[in-house]
């Protein structure tokens, strides 16, 4: 039998007409739908009607649009829909919801396909849409009407949802990074690679290189490092160097000839470098104490600029060590001869010795001037019997170097006197102020 089901809400009335499953029982479910009418009071279009297709499309559109309103996730339009739906819902620029309906004309003309029909646009407010959705929901929940029509809620799968950020925007940072990398690569391509310069060899030559007998004389730090010029310091260094070399040398296989080396000595007495002068000296360098005594500069990367003094060291076959300044500048060589010969005819008269002593003292005192050193300078001065200085000899090394500061060179006469004349030796000590002290060399008579 024909039954009518009605779902009424303030802004929507949905009326379904159909046949029940069993003929006479009005309580049996409505299974065959004949007609649907939907009244929307308060809208531009009063009523809509259609068949099962219209109802299915209405239910699908309302469900889809309702879910879209709730979640805010828009469903992407399916690519090229085969057939536009009878009912569609879209949101408009105004806050209205637009119900688009293509309905069959009421005159019973032949059926036309939906795309030939111009859709009717019905704007709905939210409350009106809610009533429409509520009517549909009540129909879906009603098991007595169309039991095959049930709610099918399905969340949108992830792959169907358009990402909130467009792909171009997502790809922009990566593209920028790649472009920047390429630009940097191009820029670095034009910059030449840095030239790696070999580290400069140290100013202080390692003594190990010397003993390898490579044939190349090692460079001495004579050119760049400043030289020590203070005479007293040179003298001290020379004396210290002589003592050290002599004490450390074990001349058991004595050298066959003089071994001469050039030494570079720092202000603290370290032998910072040495260099052979002859081929023999190179071959027998390991017999000398130089390899053990020389200071090995470790930090070769930081070439030292400390002042050095140059010395010539000679190892003689008689097991003696002589050290003298390398630069044979006349100022620094001792003026006097190395050794005074023995007096052949010594002066014996005590009175004459006292007179000569007093005369020498007066001579020296008259020309006394302050010395450049605080060390007393001691000389052995030889006078003939007339009181003329025929020779003098420095006793200490400093005295030899600083002889020019004393009046002795000016007073010394050329030794043309015959050595047979009676002569006497005196010990002259100059204090720092230049004041001499004179005593007979062999003691007061």
Partner 1 sequence: MPVDSPPGFQSPLILEALPTPALPGDQCPRRAKTQLDLLLLAIEALDLTSSEVMLEIARELGLESVIKGRVNLWLLRSTNPMRRYSQRRPMQIEEAKALVILTAHQCRRLTVLMRQLLMGYHQLQEQQLSPHHHLRLADYLNRFRSHFRSRMNPQRAGVIVYNTDEKLDQLAIALLEQMLLCSGVLGPQRLWSSLFDGEVL
| Minimal distance, residue 109 CB to partner 1, in Å | 37
The yes or no reply on residue 60 touching partner 1 (CB under 8 A) is no
Q: Which of 134, 325, 377, 438 binds partner 1 (CB under 8 A)?
A: 134
Phi, psi of 249 (to 5 degrees): -90, 130
Q: Which is nearer to partner 1, 64 or 244 (CB)?
A: 64
Q: Which of 2, 26, 44, 126 binds partner 1 (CB under 8 A)?
A: 126
| Minimal distance, residue 190 CB to partner 1, in Å | 42
Q: Strand 120-124 relative to strand 97-101: parallel, antiparallel, unpaired?
A: antiparallel
Q: Which of 13, 138, 246, 327 binds partner 1 (CB under 8 A)?
A: 138
Positive/negative CA dihedral, 146, 151, 53, 135: positive
| Minimal distance, residue 90 CB to partner 1, in Å | 16
Name the token pair of 238: 């020379």
Q: Which is nearer to partner 1, 7 or 54 (CB)?
A: 7
Q: Which is nearer to partner 1, 117 or 156 (CB)?
A: 156
| Minimal distance, residue 160 CB to partner 1, in Å | 8
Q: Which residues touch 5 (CB under 8 Å, ≥6 apart)?
A: 15, 16, 18, 30, 139, 142, 144, 145
Which of the ranges 33-41, 154-162, 402-410, 411-419 carries the binding residues for partner 1, by CB under 8 A? 154-162
Q: Which of 141, 172, 349, 413 binds partner 1 (CB under 8 A)?
A: 141
**CA separation for the pair 130, 338 (Å, rounded):** 131
| Minimal distance, residue 62 CB to partner 1, in Å | 10
| Minimal distance, residue 95 CB to partner 1, in Å | 6
| Minimal distance, residue 113 CB to partner 1, in Å | 32
Q: Which of 69, 149, 267, 343 binds partner 1 (CB under 8 A)?
A: 69
For 324, 357, 386, 437, 442, the CA distances from 348, given in Å and listed in that order, are 37, 13, 14, 21, 11
Q: Which is nearer to partner 1, 38 or 133 (CB)?
A: 133
Q: Which is nearer to partner 1, 63 or 203 (CB)?
A: 63
Q: Which of 112, 127, 213, 413 binds partner 1 (CB under 8 A)?
A: 127
Name the token pair of 85: 């739906």
For 110, 165, 174, 182, 184, the CA distances from 178, given in Å and listed in that order, are 63, 20, 6, 6, 10
Helix (H) or strand (E) holding 32: strand 30-39
**CA separation for the pair 363, 326 (Å, rounded):** 35
Helix (H) or strand (E) holding 61: helix 52-71
* Alpha-carbon 310 to chain mean position: 40
The yes or no reply on residue 161 touching partner 1 (CB under 8 A) is yes
Which of the ranges 149-157, 234-242, 370-378, 420-428 carries the binding residues for partner 1, by CB under 8 A? 149-157
Q: Which is nearer to partner 1, 77 or 299 (CB)?
A: 77
3-state secondary structure of 438: strand
What binding mask, one character per residue, do residues 96-125 give for partner 1 by CB under 8 A, x or -? Answer: -----------------------------x
Q: Which residues sit opposite 261 in a β-bridge?
A: 276, 313
Q: Which of 1, 32, 120, 160 binds partner 1 (CB under 8 A)?
A: 160
Is 372:405 a contact under the CB 8 Å cutoff? yes
Would you call 426 exposed, middle or buried from its count of C-beta atoms within 10 A (0-12, 13-18, 19+)?
buried
| Minimal distance, residue 157 CB to partner 1, in Å | 6
**CA separation for the pair 438, 352 (Å, rounded):** 15
The yes or no reply on residue 151 touching partner 1 (CB under 8 A) is yes
Q: Which is nearer to partner 1, 124 or 399 (CB)?
A: 124
Q: Which of 73, 149, 340, 395 binds partner 1 (CB under 8 A)?
A: 73
Give the orientation angle of helix 52-71 with respect to helix 126-141, to 10 degrees.
120
For 1, 5, 139, 261, the CA distances from 30, given in Å and listed in that order, are 9, 8, 11, 129
Residues that bind partner 1 (CB under 8 A): 63, 66-67, 69-71, 73, 94-95, 125-127, 130, 133-134, 137-138, 140-141, 151, 153-158, 160-161
């Amino acid at each position: 039998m024909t039954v009518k089901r009605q779902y009424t809400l303030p802004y929507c009335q949905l009326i379904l007409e159909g046949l029940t499953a069993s003929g006479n029982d009005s309580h049996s479910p409505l299974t065959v739908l004949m007609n649907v009418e939907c009244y929307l009071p308060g809208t531009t279009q009063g009523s809509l009607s259609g068949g099962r297709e219209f109802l299915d499309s209405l239910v699908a559109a309302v469900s889809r649009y309702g879910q879209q309103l709730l979640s805010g996730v828009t469903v992407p339009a399916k690519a090229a829909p085969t057939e536009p739906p009878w009912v569609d819902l879209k949101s408009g620029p105004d806050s209205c919801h637009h119900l688009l309906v293509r309905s069959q004309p009421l005159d019973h003309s032949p059926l036309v396909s939906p795309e030939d029909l111009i859709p009717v646009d019905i704007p709905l407010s939210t409350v009106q849409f809610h009533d429409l959705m509520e009517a549909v929901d009540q129909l879906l929940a009603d098991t007595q009407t169309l039991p095959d029509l049930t709610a099918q809620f399905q969340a949108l799968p992830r792959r169907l949802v358009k990402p909130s950020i467009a792909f171009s925007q997502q790809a922009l940072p990566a593209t920028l990074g790649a472009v920047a990398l390429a630009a940097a690569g191009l820029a670095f391509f034009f910059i030449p690679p840095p030239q790696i310069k070999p580290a400069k060899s140290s100013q202080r030559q390692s003594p190990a290189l010397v003993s390898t007998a490579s044939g190349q004389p090692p460079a001495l730090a004579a050119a760049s490092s400043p030289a020590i010029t203070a005479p007293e310091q040179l003298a001290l260094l020379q004396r210290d160097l002589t003592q050290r070399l002599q004490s450390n040398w074990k001349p058991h296989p004595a050298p066959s000839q003089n071994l001469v080396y050039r030494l570079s000595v720092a202000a603290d007495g370290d032998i910072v470098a040495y260099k052979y002068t002859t081929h023999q000296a190179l071959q027998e360098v390991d017999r000398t104490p130089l390899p053990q005594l020389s200071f090995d500069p470790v930090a070769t990367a930081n070439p030292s600029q400390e002042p050095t003094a140059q010395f010539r060291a000679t190892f003689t076959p008689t097991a003696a060590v002589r050290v003298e300044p390398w630069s044979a500048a006349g100022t620094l060589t001792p003026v006097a001869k190395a050794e005074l010969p023995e007096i052949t005819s010594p002066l014996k008269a005590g009175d004459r010795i006292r007179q000569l002593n007093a005369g020498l003292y007066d001579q020296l005192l008259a020309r006394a001037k302050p010395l450049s050193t605080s060390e007393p300078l001691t000389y052995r001065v030889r006078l003939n019997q007339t009181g003329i200085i025929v020779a003098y000899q420095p006793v200490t090394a400093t005295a030899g170097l600083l002889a020019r500061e004393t009046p002795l060179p000016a007073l010394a006469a050329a030794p043309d006197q015959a050595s047979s004349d009676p002569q006497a030796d005196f010990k002259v000590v100059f204090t720092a102020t230049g004041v001499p002290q004179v005593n007979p060399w062999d003691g007061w008579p």
